[in-house]
């Protein structure tokens, strides 16, 4: 059984209407930030969730943890229906499901010391009998993530971005969780520091038997560390599958264009790439039919009117596109 | 006319802070040839942005250019008066910022902002009256067309917030290019953008460079961007240049341990399953630096000889690097 | 371009608080004003030892005696005497107790209520926010003094009633500040992190958000304290304040009204005391604001 199962999960935000607008029948605006997502995460794997800003990937991660209450859908973690939990049950579940944030500056309370920040979960869940015991646990996890014992009583502003991200990781791991949502944990960091944090996250996963939902906009990072990949566009998953399959044989035109857009050091000189027309459409007013059709070089009439259904295209590999059967590829040199 | 457009020698820019003197740029040499694209790579604190704001004469207090010569197109920029420098900025050298939303004035339409630059610098315009306004308008439309903004006539009347992130970056480039500068300094032009939009903007810069024959300095932290778009690359670390040379050579065969470490630490699908080898430690504090190799504390190949000041050395034709290992390797 | 690229991150060994304090100390005018405020407070606390005479001791032989330096004055009664022959200096010293006590009490009560209301309103949102925000809007619609006069007329005069009458409305000021700051802070990731860790609403409001928004609240409260002191003086001037014979600056000014032409000192000196204290608090609190509220730092 999967560790985490997400079924038909949606998170819609309703726009604000004034009383006058309500009475005069101005329609309610709805942003479908996350729309009918199905996915599973197996114990011990890393599921990479990739997409551009505004595609709803962070909202999905937060909706799974009920940091943002889902509008509809069901999240099952280790046999427990998370979406049905009451306040006490949810609090107990928080010990097992954690999150690491993108911004190492905003995610730490500036008025708390490292020991207080990292020790908070122990206090909230009563995981340490005495203060001394709590301090010892905090010191141990901080040392494991690469902080020094004499830094425990310092404040966040006394640390660099990379060190702060280590504090955030220690906070997420101190309660011995099983599942972590990593929400762009390395996007705000310098290249050399990024590599340190990625290496640390992979080591910790091995040592503690963790499972990650790794959210990123960087296909290089996802391609390096994920076992499986889900590609999101405007609140929906357009393609999902084993990382090797996605990298070698991406089937959705959006995945293909995403991959061709990434500048890589291994490809010196310019190469031909898929040109996507225009920008991401407004999620307030998404295109009808296939949401990608406004930018898709392969769009045909059917794409404008009907939303494609998700089809299996290989072992564990699925995509949602009307033209899958034609086996088209936008990428040069890729077998069509 | 020589081939060299920009020639910076021994640039030193310091910031006097409460905690002490920060030498953000220390002895940096830069040359940019006509028509060339130079990539400047470095992490935060490497001094890559400060180097070029020094060239532009835009270092903010408490910072100041302390030493060095900046020669552009045969003129010594440091000897210019503020008024003369203003004339150079925008007309001869233009700069685009990372964050287009804050770099554009939210209270003025895009058309007004392009017109401002033309008013200030363009001497080919008719002196006054309707002819001048018409000429400015025609040029503005032409610029927006050049950076690929459709229906330019209408969009001139819109405000920056009415454009998406990628479009704003294009507008900033349009404003920068309005007077056909000889040098465009693009400071992290795509860092705030999504990959698919980033690809559009970078191709745009490359295309315009080829069409207008100008030189471009691309400041970035992304070696991938440099690999695809730059002729030459300059790697900076802690206020100094540590390596420079033709892009393909520097990336294919890096000489400085920092460049090597940087390349090894980029995660990419090709490295799947192999442990990533990050550069351990952090960039040193720029206050009170010891006169030694600045990469010493993080270098895996350090020796006691690195504790003396290290100068740039030739590492092959057109290549230089700041490491004592180079002569040993080649000797 | 920005300094963030060049300023090393680990250099702020001194705490933010100390840096702010140093900034405040560097502002000489604010520093001098703070000293004046402290002197007033010391004067109030040690009034029985500082005051040369009993403030309520009447002596009809000294009725409207001029200040010490004026003809007919006595140096022992430095600022002269009032219509009942009481020493004005002593009454000002004792009056400081009333002004400062009421000012402090009102601000403390109002700030506490305001913080709770603002936090609940800004963090919980929903109907709590609607109810609290409406009450705040309604209270803001009343003219302050008329509101307080009405309340005093209903409750009757007296020290505690003044504090109640003023705090009744004063809390809306910190409540609005706290609500705004809370709305901004609740979106920060460290608040979300605390929620993700299973923290309760109380924990988040009081332990995560409050410490980070306290500086602007304290700054606003000190500025408002000057305002409250003036309101107390106004109420006392109108006879709705502290009852005689207790000395209050407002009632002292009122007492001297009838003799303003022949005995100007009776009203003028307590008036000057109000002016000096309020001015000092205002200047000092603006210095505090500049130093502690980063938005005014430049």
C63-82 pLDDT, tens digit per residue, is 877 887 878 777 878 888 88
Q: Are residues B52 and B173 in the same domain?
A: no
CB-CB neighbors (< 8 A) of A271 in chain B: 228
C27-292: CATH, from 1.10.260.40, 1.10.1760.20, 1.10.3720.10, 1.10.150.20: 1.10.3720.10
Interface membership of A269 toward B (CB under 8 Å): yes
Q: Are residues B226 and B165 in the same domain?
A: no
Domain residue limits, chain C: 27-292
pTM for this entry? 0.82
Question: What is the pLDDT at residue B328?
Answer: 53
Q: A34-76: per-residue pLDDT in tens? A: 989 999 999 999 999 998 887 889 999 999 999 999 999 999 9
* Binary contact (B22, C8; C-beta < 8 A): yes
Query: Predicted ipTM?
Result: 0.81
- Residues from B contacting C (CB-CB < 8 Å) are 15, 17, 19, 22, 24, 44-45, 47, 49-50, 53, 58, 60, 63, 97, 187, 285-287
Q: Are residues B31 and B140 in the same domain?
A: no
Question: What is the pLDDT at residue C295?
Answer: 52
Residue C121: CA count within 13 A, CB half-sphere: 23
* Binary contact (C194, A109; C-beta < 8 A): yes
CB-CB neighbors (< 8 A) of A224 in chain B: 267-269, 271-272, 276
Q: Are residues B18 and B70 in the same domain?
A: yes
Name which of B12, B43, B44, B281 to mutate to probe chain C: the one with the most chain C Cβ atoms within 10 A of its Cβ: B44
Q: B296-316: per-residue pLDDT in tens? A: 888 888 888 888 888 888 888
Q: Are residues B265 and B153 in the same domain?
A: no
The enclosing domain of B229 has a CATH number of 3.40.50.300
Question: What is the pLDDT at residue A335?
Answer: 39
Domain membership of residue B209 (yes or no) is no
Q: Are residues B72 and B31 in the same domain?
A: yes
Domain membership of residue B21 (yes or no) is yes
B113: region left, alpha or beta (phi > 0 left; psi from -120 to 50 alpha): alpha
Name the domain count of chain B.
2
Question: What is the pLDDT at residue B2?
Answer: 67
pLDDT for C48 beyond 60: yes
Whether the Cβ atoms of residue B234 and residue B41 lie closer than 8 Å to each other: yes
Question: What is the pLDDT at residue C267?
Answer: 85
Mean pLDDT (whole number) for A286-294: 88
Q: Are residues B255 and B301 in the same domain?
A: yes
Give C125 to chain B, closest Cα distance, Å. Answer: 29
CB-CB neighbors (< 8 A) of A65 in chain C: 196
Interface membership of C196 toward A (CB under 8 Å): yes
CB-CB neighbors (< 8 A) of C192 in chain A: 62, 67, 99, 101, 107
Q: C23-44: per-residue pLDDT in tens? A: 777 788 888 888 998 998 998 8
Q: Which of residues 204-243 of A touch B (CB under 8 A)?
A: 217-221, 223-225, 243
Q: What range does the domain containing B142 cover?
A: 96-180
Interface membership of A99 toward C (CB under 8 Å): yes
* Binary contact (B198, A52; C-beta < 8 A): no
| Strand B20-33, strand A179-183: pairing | unpaired
- Chain C, nearest residue to A112 by Cα: C208
Mean pLDDT (whole number) for C97-118: 91
CB-CB neighbors (< 8 A) of B15 in chain C: 3, 6-7
Q: Are residues B61 and B188 in the same domain?
A: yes
Q: B204-261: per-residue pLDDT in tens? A: 888 888 888 899 999 998 888 898 889 999 999 999 999 999 999 999 899 999 999 9
| Strand A211-216, strand A179-183: pairing | parallel
Range in A109-113, B80-84, B324-328 the model is least confident about: B324-328
Q: Are residues B299 and B200 in the same domain?
A: yes
CB-CB neighbors (< 8 A) of A158 in chain C: 9-10, 12-13
The residues with which B321 forms a beta bridge, in sequence order, are B243, B313
- Chain C, nearest residue to A96 by Cα: C197
Q: Are residues B82 and B189 in the same domain?
A: yes
Q: A315-336: per-residue pLDDT in tens? A: 999 999 998 888 777 765 443 3
CB-CB neighbors (< 8 A) of C1 in chain B: 49-50, 53, 58, 60, 97, 187
* Binary contact (B267, A193; C-beta < 8 A): no
Q: Are residues B149 and B247 in the same domain?
A: no
Rg of chain A in Å (alpha carbons): 22
Question: What is the pLDDT at residue B201?
Answer: 83
Query: Sign (positive/negative) of CA torsion B147, B149, B153, B156?
Result: negative
Whether the Cβ atoms of residue A236 and residue A197 lie closer than 8 Å to each other: no
CB-CB neighbors (< 8 A) of C8 in chain B: 19, 22, 45, 285-287
Q: C111-149: per-residue pLDDT in tens? A: 999 999 999 999 998 889 999 999 999 888 888 888 888
Q: Are residues B140 and B241 in the same domain?
A: no
Tokens linked to A132: 């001394």
Whether the Cβ atoms of residue C229 and residue C106 lie closer than 8 Å to each other: no
**SS3 at position C149:** helix
Band the pLDDT of C9: cuts 50, 70, 90: very low
Strand order across the B313-314 sheet:
B93-96, B183-187, B215-220, B37-41, B232-237, B240-246, B320-321, B313-314
């Amino acid at each position: 059984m999967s560790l985490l199962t997400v079924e038909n999960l949606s998170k819609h935000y309703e726009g604000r209407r004034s009383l006058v607008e309500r009475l005069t029948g101005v329609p309610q605006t709805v942003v479908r930030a996350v729309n009918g997502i199905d996915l599973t995460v197996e114990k011990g794997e890393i599921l990479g969730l990739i997409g551009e800003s505004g595609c709803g990937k962070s909202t999905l991660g937060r909706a799974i943890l009920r940091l943002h209450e889902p509008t509809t859908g069901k999240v099952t973690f280790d046999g427990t229906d998370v979406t049905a939990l009451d306040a006490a049950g949810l609090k107990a579940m928080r010990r097992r499901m954690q999150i690491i944030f993108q911004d190492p500056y905003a995610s730490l309370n500036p008025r708390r010391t490292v020991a207080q920040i990292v020790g908070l979960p122990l206090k909230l869940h009563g995981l340490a009998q005495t203060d001394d015991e709590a301090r010892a646990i905090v010191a141990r996890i901080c040392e494991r993530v690469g902080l020094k014992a004499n830094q425990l009583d310092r404040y966040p502003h006394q640390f660099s971005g990379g060190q702060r991200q280590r504090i955030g990781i220690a906070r997420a791991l101190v309660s011995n969780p099983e599942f972590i949502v990593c929400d762009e944990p390395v996007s705000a960091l310098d290249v050399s520091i990024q590599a340190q944090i990625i290496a640390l996250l992979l080591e910790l996963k091995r040592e503690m038997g963790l499972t990650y939902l790794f959210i990123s906009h960087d296909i290089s990072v996802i391609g390096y560390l994920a076992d499986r990949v889900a590609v999101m566009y405007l609140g929906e998953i357009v393609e999902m599958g084993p990382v090797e399959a996605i990298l070698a044989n991406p089937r959705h035109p959006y995945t293909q264009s995403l991959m061709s857009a990434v500048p890589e050091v291994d490809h010196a000189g310019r190469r031909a790439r898929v040109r996507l027309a225009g920008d991401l459409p407004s999620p307030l007013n998404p295109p009808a039919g296939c949401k990608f059709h406004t930018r898709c070089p392969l769009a045909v009439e059917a794409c404008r009117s009907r939303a494609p259904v998700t089809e299996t295209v290989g072992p564990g590999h699925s995509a949602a596109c009307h033209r899958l059967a034609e086996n088209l590829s936008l990428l040069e040199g890729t077998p069509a | 006319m020589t081939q060299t457009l920009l020639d910076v020698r021994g640039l030193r820019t310091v910031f006097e802070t409460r905690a002490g003197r920060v030498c953000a740029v220390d002895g940096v040499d830069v040359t940019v040839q006509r028509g060339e694209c130079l990539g400047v790579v470095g992490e935060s604190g490497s001094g890559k942005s400060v180097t070029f704001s020094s060239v532009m004469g835009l270092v903010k207090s408490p910072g100041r250019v302390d030493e060095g010569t900046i020669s552009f197109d045969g003129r010594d920029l440091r000897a210019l008066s503020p008024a003369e420098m203003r004339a150079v900025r925008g007309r001869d050298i233009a700069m685009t910022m990372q964050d287009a939303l804050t770099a554009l004035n939210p209270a003025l339409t895009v058309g007004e902002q392009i017109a401002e630059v033309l008013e200030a610098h363009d001497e080919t315009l008719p002196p006054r009256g309707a002819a001048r306004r018409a000429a400015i308008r025609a040029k503005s439309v032409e610029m927006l067309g050049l950076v690929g903004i459709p229906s330019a006539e209408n969009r001139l009347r819109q405000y920056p917030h009415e454009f998406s992130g990628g479009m704003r970056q294009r507008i900033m480039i349009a404003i920068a290019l309005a007077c056909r500068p000889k040098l465009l300094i693009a400071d992290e032009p795509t860092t705030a953008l999504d990959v698919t939009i980033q690809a559009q903007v970078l191709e745009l810069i490359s295309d315009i460079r080829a069409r207008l024959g100008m030189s471009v300095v691309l400041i970035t932290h992304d070696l991938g961007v440099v690999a695809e778009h730059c002729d030459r690359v300059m790697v900076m670390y802690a206020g100094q240049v540590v390596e420079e040379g033709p892009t393909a050579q520097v990336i294919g065969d890096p000489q400085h341990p920092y460049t090597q470490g940087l390349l090894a630490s980029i995660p990419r699908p090709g490295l799947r399953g192999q442990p990533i080898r990050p550069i351990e430690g952090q960039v040193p504090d720029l206050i009170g630096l010891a006169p030694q190799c600045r990469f010493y504390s993080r270098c895996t190949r350090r020796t006691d000889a690195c504790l003396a000041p290290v100068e740039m050395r030739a590492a092959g034709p057109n290549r230089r690097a700041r490491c004592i290992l180079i002569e040993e390797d080649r000797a | 371009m920005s300094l963030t690229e060049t300023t090393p991150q680990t250099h702020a060994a001194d705490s933010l608080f100390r840096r702010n304090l140093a900034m405040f100390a560097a502002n000489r005018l604010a520093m001098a004003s703070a000293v004046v405020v402290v002197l007033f407070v010391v004067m109030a606390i040690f009034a029985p030892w500082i005051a040369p005479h009993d403030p309520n001791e009447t002596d009809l032989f000294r009725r409207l005696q001029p200040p010490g330096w004026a003809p007919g004055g006595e140096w022992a009664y430095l600022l002269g005497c009032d219509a009942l022959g009481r020493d004005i200096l002593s009454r000002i010293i004792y009056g400081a107790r009333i002004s400062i006590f009421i000012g402090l009490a009102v601000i403390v009560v109002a700030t506490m209520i305001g913080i709770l209301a603002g936090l609940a309103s800004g963090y919980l949102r929903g109907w709590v926010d609607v109810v609290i925000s409406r009450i705040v809007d309604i209270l803001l619609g009343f003219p302050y003094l008329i509101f307080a006069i009405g309340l005093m007329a209903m409750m009757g005069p007296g020290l505690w009633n003044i504090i109640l009458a003023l705090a009744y409305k004063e809390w809306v000021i910190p409540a609005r500040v706290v609500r705004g700051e809370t709305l901004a802070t609740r979106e920060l990731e460290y608040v979300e992190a605390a929620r993700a860790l299973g923290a309760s609403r109380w924990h988040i409001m009081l332990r995560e958000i409050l410490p980070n928004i306290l500086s602007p609240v304290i700054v606003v409260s000190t500025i408002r304290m000057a305002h409250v002191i003036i309101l107390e003086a106004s109420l006392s001037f109108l006879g709705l304040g502290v009852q005689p014979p207790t000395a209050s600056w407002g009632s002292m000014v009122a007492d001297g009204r009838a003799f303003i032409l022949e005995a100007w000192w009776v009203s003028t000196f307590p008036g000057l005391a109000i002016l000096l204290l309020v001015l000092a608090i205002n200047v000092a609190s603006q210095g505090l604001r500049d130093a502690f509220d980063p938005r005014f730092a430049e």
